[in-house]
Structure 1
């Protein structure tokens, strides 16, 4: 690393950038920890990784990646749909002969078909 001029802008070589990007995920290292260790912003590492993948210098991950998960106390979950009081939705169907049918939205398709055919036949 080299610091140039009054603005003290750091210049990273390609090798250094690749080393930093490659350090993420090794032995469980997170991107945030790697960024702190090298004193680089997380967004800079994301940008470098994107550029390296775009240029074909960094292989794309192959297969599934397993991450550690901490399962703590259960959160307050929404009640299941069948446990909630759900008001039925009423559907109105206007037939060509001027007749209208009103029925629950949960009606089975076969029953609705029979109902429509019997009303049209009447």
Structure 2
């Protein structure tokens, strides 16, 4: 070392970003998606991971057989006892109404269905 030369050292202080996530923890986090309308972004922020981690975990767990494969259309059982049967099915050429939800679910209603009944079904699907 020469006289007058300054040596510099950099000290990094903070949380180590590389973490280990057991499969059980990944499954638990993945199951939070859709609960109460929680999106992938919401869940990722809650657990301080990126959205890409969530998608990567889902793919890895599918490959291991720990996460179920998507079966396409799924039907939900709804308690519609308070829903009056006032659905009016009128023969028309119009297509059924299709409503997409943020949680990935889709509601299809026949043409001519009463607006109040559609609103009740929307509330049931959102809370199911």
Smaller-chain TM-score bracket: 0.3 to 0.5
- Greater share of strand residues, 1 or 2? 1
Indicate the structure whose relative CO is greater, using CA pairs within 8 Å and at least 6 residues apart.
Answer: 2
TM-score (norm 2): 0.44
**Which entry has the higher C-alpha Rg, 1 or 2?**
1
- Greater share of helix residues, 1 or 2? 1
